[in-house]
Amino acid sequence: MATNSNPKIQELMNEVEALDLNDSSLESKLNLIAQKVAAEQKKTETKVTGLPIDDSRLIDPSETFACEGCQ
C-alpha cells in the first residue's frame, strides 16, 4: 500500500485502492481521481513556490499512485 504525506492525496489513494476492478465505470472514476490529485498538487506547488502554476506544468497524477520511495 502506497502512502503519501499529504492527507488529501492519501485519501484519494485510498479511494483508488477501494475501487472494484470489475466496475464498468472504473476508467472514469480513475480519471476523476487523477484530476483531483492534479488539483491538489497544483495547490501544494503554489503554496511552496508562491507562484501560480500553469496547468501544463502539473505533475503527472499517475506518479502519485506509486510509493514515495519509488518515485
State the pLDDT confidence band at 46, using cuts at 50, 70 and 90: confident
* Buried residues in 4-38 as b, exposed as e (16+ CB within 10 A): beeeebeebbeeeeeeeeeeeeeeeebeebbebbb
Domain regions of the chain by residue span: 7-70
| pTM greater than 0.85 | no
For the ranges 6-10, 45-49, 60-64, the lowest mean pLDDT is seen at 60-64
pLDDT of 71 > 70? The answer is no
Judge residue 48's burial from the number of C-beta atoms within 10 Å of its C-beta, 0-12 exposed, 13-18 middle, 19 or more buried.
exposed
